[in-house]
Chains A and B, each alone.
Chain A
Amino acid sequence: AAGVIQSPRHLIKEKRETATLKCYPIPRHDTVYWYQQGPGQDPQFLISFYEKMQSDKGSIPDRFSAQQFSDYHSELNMSSLELGDSALYFCASSLSTSRPAAFFGQGTRLTVV
């Protein structure tokens, strides 16, 4: 069965650079969530989208932005990267109304040097 696809799997950027992370949800899933997991930490919610509209916002820095496109894939844009942004970034997708479960991608490991 198709799963949530994230790209790239690994990304190395320098401070003050920009990064774009992509997420392709499970087919027919209309809701996408982004999470950030720092080393040894639990995943922290960043932002979510339902039907291409932002549905909720968590502890996402102002330097980050995200959107969901017409094909339901989502991109997380991160600017002015800081060392503290180094983390594993997960995308999850769900069918908002029928299936109360979120399926996660493998994550993108971002390292800022």
Chain B
Amino acid sequence: AQSVTQLGSHVSVSEGALVLLRCNYSSSVPPYLFWYVQYPNQGLQLLLKYTTGATLVKGINGFEAEFKKSETSFHLTKPSAHMSDAAEYFCAVRTFYNQGGKLIFGQGTELSVKP
């Protein structure tokens, strides 16, 4: 069975500082991994995804994540935080289709950006 753990329910950074949101996964098979962002009272927007191939994945809004199999991690980073990045971020792993293909989410990390 797959699972996702996000370390830190709240992360606060200053505007212009590095953003690092941690995600570790558990999967007995090669995973498909995702990061979603959720603004208040909004839906889940796909930031980026890893399926196969290049382990450094670039997404929207300047975010990127690196799949590290040896560390079972898929941490999300952004070199310079912007006030508009303040939101809830969810890491997710997708089960394979013969297991239903559903997404399993981590607990979420709320990112605050201080001026």
Binding site for B on A (CB under 8 A): 31, 33, 35, 42-45, 48, 50, 55-56, 58, 90, 92, 94, 96-97, 100-107, 109
Contact = CB atoms under 8 A, between A and B. Distances in A.
Q: Which secondary structure characterizes the binding site on chain A?
A: strand
B44 A56 contact: no
Interface of B: 32, 34, 36, 41-46, 49, 51, 90, 94, 97, 99-108
A109 B103 contact: no
Contacts of B103: 33, 35, 43, 45, 92, 102
A105 B43 contact: yes
A13 to B, nearest CB: 19
Contacts of B41: 109
Q: Please list the 7 inter-chain residue pairs (A to B) with the smallest Cβ-Cβ separation, ordered nearest first.
A: A56-B100, A106-B43, A104-B44, A42-B105, A100-B32, A45-B102, A104-B43
Given A35-B103, A104-B45, 6 more contacts: A42-B107, A48-B100, A56-B101, A97-B97, A102-B103, A107-B43
